Amino acid sequence: MCDFFICLHICSYRDAQEELQEFQEGSRELEAELEAQLGQAEHRIRDLQSENQRLKSEVDTLKVL
């Protein structure tokens, strides 16, 4: 009877370990995806700030004319 409970706990441990590994793998993949999205968003922000500055300069030039 004791062997049954030991086996049951070993199986539970293995299941939990497998779930943890799957969770960690998924977390790493999600982190990589979010990092990539963040990089793209930061690049887009820089592009928009540059375009905004260019347009402000153009407006200032047109005001002078």
pLDDT in tens, 19-46: 999 999 999 999 999 999 999 999 999 9
Q: 19-22 long-range contacts, Cβ below 8 Å, gap at least 24?
A: none
Pull the structure tokens for residue 3.
């062997």
Indicate the domain borders of the chain: 1-65
- Helices vs. strands in the chain: H and E counts, helices first: 1, 0
Q: Rounded to whole angstroms, how far apart are CA atoms 8 and 60?
A: 77
pLDDT band at 61 (very low <50, low <70, confident <90, very high): very high
